[in-house]
Amino acid sequence: MAEGHTTIAVQNYLGELAGIEGSAPAASIIRALIDSSVTRLHLLCKTLLVRSYPRLTRPPFNLQSEEMLSSVVDRLLRAMEKVRPATVRQFFALANQHMRWELNDLARRLDGQPSAMEFQEAFMPSADTSASQLTPNALRMLKAIESLPEEEGEVFSLVRIQGMAQTEVADLLGTSTKAIQRRLNRALMILARNLSDLNPPPPSSPQPAEDA
């Protein structure tokens, strides 16, 4: 499922769910919501893998993100099917938590990976030193997100982890986009303070002329 459609799908489910009016949430809707979260998690894991260890995805390792991630995704799927959240908001709170855990787990495993491969690496021409910093940073970021105050943390996770649009989040939480925006800004400021000593990101290629 293309990620771009996920949020649209979520929006539709939100509408459907609202139509059901407090009755027991339809299993099909929950299933679809889980699907969209799973897709999103898959995407985030892939980003983490590709950006942290691009070398692992190339020969001779040929680590395919799919095989590495399928177990992660499987676990989320199982965990989410067990829980039966009463509201959509609850559902997303749980989903966010599980996704953070899974990402955390993946980051740890990636962190361990290079040392396990040290022997082979001795025969590699050079190491991707710039990227190796990414997973520890990811772990720290996840921890910082975890410890955000409740309101900010919820909005931040919905936008960042679930990849929802601000208007959708506003609908879900029954507030204005302005308020969502404000909470996001505040979350960012708190994160900036707590992560200010984060290692600088690897030098990225220069931005394209932004005003082109």
Partner 1 sequence: MPDDTADQEKSTEPERSTGPSQERSLQARIDELVEEILETDRTPEEVCAQRPDLLALVREELRKLSNVEGQLNSLFPNSLERVKSRVRSSAMLEGVFPSIPEYVVQKVLGRGGMGIVYHARHLQLKRDVALKMLLSGSYASRRDHLRFLREAESSAALRHPNIIQVYDIGEVDGHPYYTMEYISGGTLAEQIAGGMQPARDSAKLVAALARAVQAAHESGIVHRDLKPANILMTTEGLPKISDFGLARWLDRESSLTNTGARIGTPSYMAPEQLRGGAAAAGPAVDHFALGAILYEMLTGHPPFRAETVSDTERKLATEEAEPPSRFNSKVPRDLEVICLKCLEKAPQARYASAGDLADDLERFLRHEPIYARPVAPGERLIRWIRRHPLPAALTVAFLVLVGLIGSQVVDNWAKSAASRVEKARLTSRFETGIQLVQEGRFAEAHAILGRLGDGGFSELRQRIDRALADLDLVEKLDEIGVVRATLLNADDPAWHPKAQAAKEYESLFASSGIGKMTDEPAAIARSIGASEIKQPLIAALDDWAVCEREASRRNWVLEVARLGGAPDQEWENRCRNPATWTDRTQLLELCNRAPNVKASVQQLRALGDRLALTRLDATAFRLRVQAGHVDHFLANLSLADELSSRNPAEAIRYYQAAIAVRPRSATAHHNLGVALARLNRLEEAIQSFNRALTFDAKSVATHFQLGMALRTKRPLDAIQELQTAIQLNENFAVIHQAYGELLLKEHRLREAAQAFQSCLKLSKDETQREQVSQWLKQCETPPAK
Q: Which residues bind partner 1 (CB under 8 A)?
A: 2-5, 7-8, 43-44, 47-48, 51, 134, 137-138, 140-141, 143-144, 147-149, 152, 156, 159-161, 163-167, 177-178, 181-182, 184-186, 188-196, 198, 200-201, 204, 206-212
Nearer to partner 1, 25 or 42 (CB): 42
Q: How far is the CB of 6 from partner 1 (least distance, A)?
A: 9
Nearer to partner 1, 4 or 125 (CB): 4
Nearer to partner 1, 24 or 209 (CB): 209
Nearer to partner 1, 71 or 185 (CB): 185
CB contact set of 181 (below 8 Å; sequence gap of 6+): 166
Nearer to partner 1, 59 or 208 (CB): 208
DSSP class per residue in 154-181: HHHIIIIIS---HHHHHHHHTS-HHHHH
| Distance (Å, whole) CA 105 – CA 102 | 5
Q: How far is the CB of 7 from partner 1 (least distance, A)?
A: 6
Q: How far is the CB of 20 from partner 1 (least distance, A)?
A: 25
Nearer to partner 1, 87 or 185 (CB): 185
Q: How far is the CB of 86 from partner 1 (least distance, A)?
A: 26
Rounded to 5 degrees, what angle do the CA atoms 150, 5, 22 make? 55
CB contact set of 184 (below 8 Å; sequence gap of 6+): 152, 155, 156, 159, 166
Residue type, 73: V
- In degrees and rounded to multiples of 5, residue 50 shows phi and psi of -65, -40
Q: How far is the CB of 77 from partner 1 (least distance, A)?
A: 21
Q: Are 10 and 91 in contact (CB under 8 A)?
A: no
- 3-state SS assignment for residue 125: coil
